[in-house]
Amino acid sequence: MKKLTRDEIAARVARDIPEGAYVNLGIGLPTLVGNHLPKGKEIFLHSENGILGMGPAPAPGEEDEDLINAGKQPITVLPGAAFFHHADSFAMMRGGHLDICVLGAFQVSVTGDLANWSTGEPGAIPAVGGAMDLAVGARQVFIMMEHLTKKGESKIVERCTYPLTGIGCVSRIYTDLAVIEVTAQGLVAREWVDGMSLEELTRITGVPLAAPQRQAIA
Amino acid sequence: MINKIVASVEAAVAGIEDGSTIMIGGFGGSGMPSELIDALIAQGSKDLTIVNNNAGNGEFGLALLLKAKRVRKILCSFPRQVDSHHFDALFRAGEIELELVPQGNLAERIRAAGAGIGGFFTRTGYGTELAKGKETRIIDGKGFVFETPIHADYALIKAERADRLGNLVYRKAGRNFGPVMASAARCSIVQVNEIVDVGALDPEAIVTPGIYVNRVVRVSRAATLKAVA
């Protein structure tokens, strides 16, 4: 069994983003998806700080303090980009105008609950940013994460034990082992890595997975 | 003749009282009115409540206001950053109160204040600990949380260009919270890179009309960049 690298997960997510989509990539791992968007398709990246049409990182020396992404890294804008104020930006997010957002996660439950903003540890400084707005506002919420924690525990769980970001908001989960859809009937494994059986994936994941049609992950 | 332009950043922040609620524009350093914040530190008012997306980072602007222990409470969405050490230390010592607000609620609560809206129901945060104790309602089968407006005594904002009437245009993503904060504060104070004649700003392109702006001061971007470096 060969796990996907972070870039391979990003490339797999990118394949499911269609031409014309308005997309928000969360901070951290999801930012990598931007490097794998197909060159030939017009896809519009939204940044919560008031940008549609975000482009790649600038060349060294070309950074502009007023052109940053949600993670506060320098970016560029593409021809046709637009700037708008924060309430408009979050109206796009909360009003169901974004086709897809890609977020990281600590845990996702079998019913699509998401926990990604706080580990709830005492003394930890909480920070939520736009995660709760994206979770409830985007038409589809894709989660991109490692399948297991560093301790080897599944991040896909019966019920989230970390503080929730949103309830029943996740559409699809992309991990280093599998692509799993959240449906009204439960989790459905669509693809998983070569060299692993559905039984093994289910055992590692620790929750029931249906699999009407297995495909090798590419 | 109306002239909202003041001669200095000191004049721009004059009269800010102890205990004021102050909105400060910016997303990280982008759009942060650092020179106005420096002037506020020098002006000396204390026991402030600050509204900003973050809680200061590095060694400039909002971080220095916190370091000077002039802030009693902060409302923000994302205090934790790699270089938010001044906030982190105050928070751990119990010397600052934090109201953590999801970013879209922060923007919309500010907008609501400016628009005279008494509150709104939003799906954001429903069922989470950030909605604890708040009124909820099921609308079309989905859970919503009631959120109230955030008003301020003052707003400190950075824009790119203004005229003497207070009409504003911004620069790129530095716009962020500026327009909604300008509408939600009793007195909006703006630093701009450039002041132009009345009529020079295209009415089709003015982002914040002067009705929302009380004081304008020129701080050239060259000076701003020098200060950050």
Test A94 with B124 for CB contact under 8 angstroms. Answer: yes
Give the residue-averaged pLDDT of A14-41.
Answer: 95
Tokens 């060159």 correspond to: A39
Give the residue-averaged pLDDT of B147-173.
Answer: 98
Test B79 with A127 for CB contact under 8 angstroms. Answer: yes
Per-domain boundaries in chain A: 6-216
Minimal C-alpha gap between B219 and chain A (Å): 16
Residue A69 has pLDDT above 60, yes or no: yes
Average pLDDT, chain A: 95
Q: Which residue out of B101, B123, B177 would a mutagenesis test of the A interface target, given it has the greatest number of A Cβ atoms within 10 Å?
A: B123
For A123-137, b/e burial (b = at least 16 CB within 10 A) is eebbbbbbbbbbbbb
Q: Is B143 touching A (CB cutoff 8 A)?
A: yes
What does the pLDDT read at residue B77? 97
Q: Is A164 touching B (CB cutoff 8 A)?
A: yes
What does the pLDDT read at residue A214? 65
Per-domain boundaries in chain B: 9-118+151-228
Tokens 């894709």 correspond to: A142
**With a CB-CB cutoff of 8 Å, which residues 57-116 of chain A face chain B?**
64-68, 72, 77, 83-87, 89-91, 93-94
Encode pLDDT of A92-142 as tens digits: 999 999 999 999 999 999 999 999 999 888 888 989 999 999 999 999 999
Q: Which of B80, B108, B123 sits opposite A136 (nearest CB)?
A: B123
Q: Which of A48, A91, A164 sits opposite B127 (nearest CB)?
A: A164
Encode pLDDT of B23-82 as tens digits: 999 998 999 999 999 999 999 999 999 999 999 999 999 999 999 999 999 999 999 888
Q: Alpha-carbon torsion A166, A20, A54, A177, what sign?
A: positive
Test A126 with B100 for CB contact under 8 angstroms. Answer: yes
Encode pLDDT of B87-112 as tens digits: 999 999 999 999 999 999 999 999 99
Residue B191 has pLDDT above 80, yes or no: yes
- Fold annotation for A6-216: Glutaconate Coenzyme A-transferase (3.40.1080)
Test B108 with A90 for CB contact under 8 angstroms. Answer: yes
Identified catalytic residue from A8, A19, A42, A48? A48
What does the pLDDT read at residue A122? 84
Q: What is the C-alpha end-to-end distance of chain A, expressed in Å?
A: 13
Minimal C-alpha gap between B29 and chain A (Å): 7
Among chain B residues, the shortest Cα distance to A118 is held by: B129
What does the pLDDT read at residue A120? 86
Among chain A residues, the shortest Cα distance to B110 is held by: A87
- Residue A104: C-alpha distances to residues A94, A117, A180, B102 (Å): 18, 9, 15, 17
Encode pLDDT of A191-210 as tens digits: 999 999 999 999 999 999 99
Test A127 with B80 for CB contact under 8 angstroms. Answer: yes
Give the residue-averaged pLDDT of A72-93.
Answer: 97
Instruction: Give the pTM.
Output: 0.96
Test A130 with B122 for CB contact under 8 angstroms. Answer: no
What does the pLDDT read at residue B223? 67
What does the pLDDT read at residue B224? 64
Q: Which chain A residues are closer than 8 Å to B106 by Cβ?
A: 86
CB A70 within 8 A of CB A26: yes
Q: Which of A65, A126, A133 sits opposite B29 (nearest CB)?
A: A65
Q: Which ipTM value was assigned to this complex?
A: 0.95
In the numeric block, which tokens belong to residue A46?
């939204």
Distance (Å, whole) CA B112 – CA B165: 24
Test B104 with A47 for CB contact under 8 angstroms. Answer: no
Q: Is A48 a catalytic residue?
A: yes
Distance (Å, whole) CA B136 – CA B131: 9
CB A117 within 8 A of CB B207: no
Test A68 with B173 for CB contact under 8 angstroms. Answer: yes
Class of domain B9-118+151-228: alpha beta
Test B172 with A64 for CB contact under 8 angstroms. Answer: yes
Helix (H) / strand (E) element for B105: namely: helix B103-115
How does residue A217 score in pLDDT terms, banded at 50, 70 and 90?
Answer: confident
In the numeric block, which tokens belong to residue B57?
């980072």
Minimal C-alpha gap between A146 and chain B (Å): 23
Q: Which chain A residues are closer than 8 Å to B177 by Cβ?
A: 85-86
Give the residue-averaged pLDDT of A160-167.
Answer: 97
Which residues have CB under 8 Å from A135's CB, separation 6+? A101, A103, A114, A116, A141, A165, A166, A169
Minimal C-alpha gap between A19 and chain B (Å): 25
